[in-house]
Amino acid sequence: MLATQAIFRTRDFALQSGQSLPELVLAYETYGALAPTRRNAILVTHGITSNHHAAGRYSASDAQHGWWDRIIGPGKAIDTDRYFVVSSNSLGSCYGSTAPASVNPRTGKRYGPGFPRLTITDMVAAQRALLDALGIPHLVAVAGPSYGGFQAFQWGVSFPDFMDGLVAAVSAPRDLAGQLAVDQLRALFAADPAWNGGWHYDGDGMRDAMKRLRIRTLKEYGVDTQLAAAISDPDARAASLEIMAADWAGTFDPNSLLALRQAWVGFDTEKDFAKIRAKLLYVLCTTDAVFPPSLAPEVMAKLKSAGVDAAYFELESPFGHLALNPEANKWAPVLDAFLRRLPSDR
């Protein structure tokens, strides 16, 4: 399956902070075909350091498959023979959308560390503007892992009647870490002489700091365990992890990471659970150190108390936070059954 890439643009986009973006740009991909009824669309949202390349390849010779390639595609759980899938890059991400590294049309210079503060609600509102521009009046579902799961929860309370289903996987409906996590990240960057108060764009010295951060994050996510399934030698695994981290560090803007992490602070949809009208599937992994399955009883109890039609699935896997794609065979049938309960007019 080949991915179709596109760019959405709009002007004077208002943010919750009271500021506005003179130009909003969102990069996105689509898979499948939009039905004549225009009501067979699913929106897919991505993790905090990921991107909108969720499935397929860019050409027949391209080896780079998307991060949910075992979930999205013909005959898969999110079946592109049945659904039109829109995968939007998040506002604030540095992979083609308006973000700190973008040029501010008002000044002709990068936003840099002066980029307006974002919220998860702003990101969802930007996605809604994209869908409106595509002429999509209603979604079958919004589905996403981790940070994308935050957005799925937010969609449920921001636009309760716009979708029939919500899928939040390896995620949570509220902020679990608070401002402290952002302050620690700022301190880490500030300790690097290349940071220059956030104006690091003229050099590449931040790559080392970002690489170290990425290695730590990948280990927390369980990537080392995944690599061990294919690479028995510890030194070879460490080398592979270093390559993965270096590739990411060379492309991801530290200011974007701060902006996206700051947007999570104060995020809380639990207080608005009663607004949710869509059916909801909540998925956690047994070995996820980021969003452990111990979250499930309280979240599910609050959803049920609010009258939400919610189901929970616990994915048993040693692969931690990033288990969803490699372990697709274990949970894709649950996702497929959930989606088939929802209206999808072709």
Q: What is the residue type of 164?
A: D
Tell me how far apart the terminal alpha carbons of the chain are, to the nearest angstrom.
20
276-311 pLDDT, tens digit per residue, is 999 999 999 999 999 999 999 999 999 999 999 999
Does residue 17 carry a catalytic annotation? no
Q: How far is residue 60 CA from its own chain's centroid?
A: 26
Tens-binned pLDDT, residue by residue, of the chain (346 aa): 878 899 999 999 999 999 999 999 999 999 999 999 999 999 999 999 999 999 988 766 666 789 999 999 999 999 999 999 999 999 999 999 999 999 999 999 999 999 999 999 999 999 999 999 999 999 999 999 999 999 999 999 999 999 999 999 999 999 988 888 899 999 999 999 899 999 999 876 688 889 889 998 888 888 888 888 788 788 888 888 888 898 888 899 999 999 999 999 999 999 999 999 999 999 999 999 999 999 999 999 999 999 999 999 999 999 999 999 999 999 999 999 999 999 866 4
135-154 pLDDT, tens digit per residue, is 999 999 999 999 999 999 99
Enter the CATH code of domain 179-261.
1.10.1740
Does residue 200 carry a catalytic annotation? no
189-223 pLDDT, tens digit per residue, is 999 989 999 999 987 668 888 988 999 888 888 88
Exactly one of 146, 158, 171, 317 is catalytic; which is it?
Answer: 146
4-177+267-340: what CATH class? Answer: alpha beta
Instruction: Map residue 327 onto helix, strand or coil.
Output: coil
Which whole-number Å values give the CA distances from 342 to 15, 119, 330, in the listed order? 32, 29, 21
Does residue 321 carry a catalytic annotation? yes
Exactly one of 52, 164, 288, 344 is catalytic; which is it?
Answer: 288
Exactly one of 93, 122, 321, 344 is catalytic; which is it?
Answer: 321
Q: Which residues on neighbouring strands pair with residue 280, listed in sequence order? A: 166, 310
Q: Which residues on neighbouring strands pair with residue 269, listed in sequence order? A: none
Hey, where are the domains in the chain? 4-177+267-340, 179-261
**Are 26 and 91 spatial neighbours (Cβ–Cβ below 8 Å)?**
yes
Rg of the Cα trace of the chain?
19
Token digits of residue 270: 């639990």
pTM for this model (two decimals): 0.95
Nearest to 8 by CA among 91, 104, 81, 101: 91
User: Which H/E stretch holds residue 103?
Assistant: strand 103-104
Q: How far is residue 24 CA from its own chain's centroid?
A: 18
